Amino acid sequence: MRSSSDPKAGQSPGTGQPDWYRRAVFYEVPVRGFYDANGDGIGDLRGLQEKLEYLQWLGVDCLWLLPFYPSPMRDGGYDISDFMNIHPDLGTTDDLVLLLDDAHRRGIRIIADLVMNHTSDEHPWFIESRSSRTNPRADWYVWSDDDKRWPEARVVFVDVETSNWTWDPVRGQFFWHRFYSHQPDLNYDNPDVEAAMLGIVRHWLDLGLDGFRLDAISYLFQRDGTTGESLPETHALLRRLRKEIDAAYPERVLLAEANQWPADLVDFFGQGDECQMCFHFPLMPRLFMAVRREQRFPVTEILSQSPEIPPTCQWAIFLRNHDELSLEKVSEEERDYMVAEYAKDPRMQRNLGIGRRLAPLLDGDRGLAELLVALLLSLPGSPVLYYGDELLMGDNVYLGDRDSVRTPMQWSPDRNAGFSKGDFAQLYLPPLMDPVFGYQSVNVEAQQRSPSSFLHWMRRMLQVRKSYLQFGTGGFETVDCANPSVLAYVRVPEAHGQSGVAGDAPLTARAEVGPAVQPGAPESPGLPESRALPESPALPESPGDPQSPVLCVHNLSRFAQPAWLDLVRWAGRTPVELLGRVPFPPVAGGLTHMTLGPHGFYWFELVAESALHPEPALEDL
């Protein structure tokens, strides 16, 4: 067993696939909410390890763990009081190493949140910094005699904070913070702060983490007369960070969290020398807007405003996450519309957004959820799933802040949703118990048993996505269609030689990382006995030709729709539907007609004539 003190800890899995993240499906896990192995009411790292088998069965490639560091937990752990350790509720560094080893053996990578922008006010650095104006860490944070500087910088948490400055009676000065007033911002104009952060990065990469989600990364610097967002100094720091990582840690990924417009977001990719990935924030609310308006325009408009990205980079796209459905990057009119449609009860609103999960946002409409997931899995980018959304889990809007969407994972109809053997009163948050989304009706056990469940559907969709690399690395061409409710596009295979991924064999994702688990090989301690997990209804053989374009057609309307698609460029090819492998009539010279059911969608491989009727082999003659 590797331990945190083992000098070999953190060796890269070394798979020779430096851009694995372009084809990966990500899954966001709050460790606290996933599975409680020691029965104290709080999910932990050992519990997550016990559930790796489930995640492998589901077919995800990379986990993103919410902050696991010691913290007073006043902002879900984003208020860190010690960057070098694990929160005692969640386990130990050795538990993390065991988890990483086990995940890597299963072909699953793990990245974690890193909060570079700020710390908790309980962090020893801040306690020292505030203690006087002359201590060694006096300028590790941003201090001022007044609260007048940088008025252009907006307040992010407008529902709680009124200023980015807070008076500290100990030091007798104001300190700067972009988020809660208990989260002072670090001062990156001080090179010692950057050096300390690089040490932290190395510490976790040495243990084997596959990368970081860089939280609130656009706010690292402040400059007069600016909003303090995405300044050149921030990008220069990211380039230094990337260089350090590339030099010593191959195949790691940096994922930027920056709630910005597309034109500013692409700056986080740099020239391919900053973050490899970046969340596409403006796309998310527009997906929800498009299906409610039953019009593709919100989505096509934002995509047309999204500049090309460097070939080794990738968008991270998502429907829901641990925060509110952010409405920062929409117009005021659009915000009013979204709130009126999706947050009818004011208790559903959080900050500038909506504190709800996928299923309740859609009033539990499974067909609509399938449509949104189909878009998530086929639009350009790597999809990031939020734990529990594969079950269509619900939320609890009566819980404070964003806890509405952070309730325990629902494993079974047993006590505490099968999440914990502790007493109900000990649980970090109550599981959902309402008749619609409560754990009695929505849970992993029941859905694994039912072949027609959303969970099995999701698993099949992930399998299909994986057999077509085009979804991850292919180009994107919209298909003209006069019906505004229909969104159609083709994912065109990446040209050979581009960004070093051409020729990747499809369907090898499971074998991508580290040595596969050998049958009979001893498993790491703490692993539960392997149970046979249910198979999903079989998919027809899908060779998934990496050279075929894939046509995706989606009906955003709740009514059946006709679609005349301009597929002239693909004339002669035969659309073969991906879930059933059923061939449709070949694409002819004019417009192609298709009928779509309410919220219906089709994905087709556009198979060339020669692939359908190959030349007979010599020995067959």
Question: Which residues are identified as catalytic?
Answer: 215, 257
Task: Kindly tell me which of 74 and 510 has the beta carbon lying closer to ligand GLC.
Answer: 74
Q: Identify how many contiguous H helices and E strands the chain contains and give both numbers.
A: 16, 20
Interacting span for ligand GLC (CB under 6 A) from 74-82, 129-137, 330-338, 351-359 = 74-82
Interacting span for ligand GLC (CB under 6 A) from 75-83, 377-385, 441-449, 605-613 = 75-83
Q: Which residues pair with 554 in a beta bridge?
A: 487, 601
Among 36, 215, 389, 395, binds ligand GLC (CB under 6 A): 215
Contact call for residue 121 and ligand GLC (CB under 6 A): no
Question: Taking CB within 5 to 8 Å according to partner kind, which of Ca ion, ligand GLC, none is near residue 388?
Answer: none
Q: Please state the closest distance from residue 153 (CB atom) to ligand GLC, in A.
A: 15
Interacting span for Ca ion (CB under 5 A) from 41-49, 125-133, 173-181, 381-389 = 41-49
Query: What is the number of the residue whose Cβ is closest to ligand GLC?
Result: 78
Q: How far is residue 261 from each of residues 222, 300, 306, measured CA to CA in Å?
A: 19, 15, 9
Q: Please state the closest distance from residue 519 (CB atom) to ligand GLC, in A.
A: 41
**Distance between CA atoms of residues 565 and 296, nearest Å:** 14
Interacting span for Ca ion (CB under 5 A) from 37-45, 111-119, 143-151, 435-443 = 37-45
Binding mask 365-404 for ligand GLC (x = CB under 6 A): ----------------------------------------
String of b and e for 243-278 (b: at least 16 CB within 10 Å)? eebeeebebbbbbbbbbbebeebbbbbbeeebbbbb
Task: Kindly tell me which of 50 and 323 has the beta carbon lying closer to ligand GLC.
Answer: 323
**Distance between CA atoms of residues 387 and 378, nearest Å:** 20
Task: Kindly tell me which of 38 and 190 has the beta carbon lying closer to Ca ion.
Answer: 38
**Distance between CA atoms of residues 81 and 115, nearest Å:** 11
In three-state form (DSSP H/G/I as H, E/B as E, the rest C), the secondary structure along 167-192 is: EECCCCEEEECCCCCCCCEECCCCHH
**Distance between CA atoms of residues 131 and 127, nearest Å:** 6
Q: Which residues pair with 596 in a beta bridge?
A: 561
Task: Kindly tell me which of 38 and 295 has the beta carbon lying closer to Ca ion.
Answer: 38
Side-chain-side CA neighbours of 250 within 13 Å: the count stands at: 9
DSSP strand pairing (550-555 vs 574-577): unpaired
Q: Please state the closest distance from residue 79 (CB atom) to ligand GLC, in A.
A: 7
The answer to whether the beta carbons of residues 164 and 177 sit under 8 Å apart is: yes
Among 31, 45, 115, 432, binds ligand GLC (CB under 6 A): 115
Contact call for residue 69 and ligand GLC (CB under 6 A): no
Among 36, 50, 257, 390, binds Ca ion (CB under 5 A): 36
Contact call for residue 42 and Ca ion (CB under 5 A): yes
Question: Taking CB within 5 to 8 Å according to partner kind, which of ligand GLC, Ca ion, none is near residue 38?
Answer: Ca ion
Judge residue 444's burial from the number of C-beta atoms within 10 Å of its C-beta, 0-12 exposed, 13-18 middle, 19 or more buried.
buried
Smallest Cα–Cα separation from 47: which of 28, 34, 60? 34
Binding mask 238-257 for ligand GLC (x = CB under 6 A): -------------------x
Q: Please state the closest distance from residue 478 (CB atom) to ligand GLC, in A.
A: 31
DSSP strand pairing (550-555 vs 486-492): antiparallel
Among 323, 389, 390, 545, binds ligand GLC (CB under 6 A): 323
Q: Please state the closest distance from residue 297 (CB atom) to ligand GLC, in A.
A: 28
Q: Please state the closest distance from residue 42 (CB atom) to Ca ion, in A.
A: 4
Q: Please state the closest distance from residue 427 (CB atom) to ligand GLC, in A.
A: 21
Token pair belonging to 283: 């796309």
Q: What angle do CA 118, 404, 62 make, to 5 degrees?
A: 65
DSSP strand pairing (486-492 vs 475-478): antiparallel
Q: Please state the closest distance from residue 408 (CB atom) to Ca ion, in A.
A: 11
Task: Kindly tell me which of 330 and 550 has the beta carbon lying closer to ligand GLC.
Answer: 330
Contact call for residue 179 and ligand GLC (CB under 6 A): yes
Contact call for residue 78 and ligand GLC (CB under 6 A): yes
DSSP strand pairing (109-114 vs 62-65): parallel
The answer to whether the beta carbons of residues 90 and 68 sit under 8 Å apart is: yes
Binding-site ranges for ligand GLC (CB under 6 A)? 75-76, 78, 115, 179, 215-216, 257, 322-323
Binding-site ranges for Ca ion (CB under 5 A)? 36, 38, 40, 42, 44
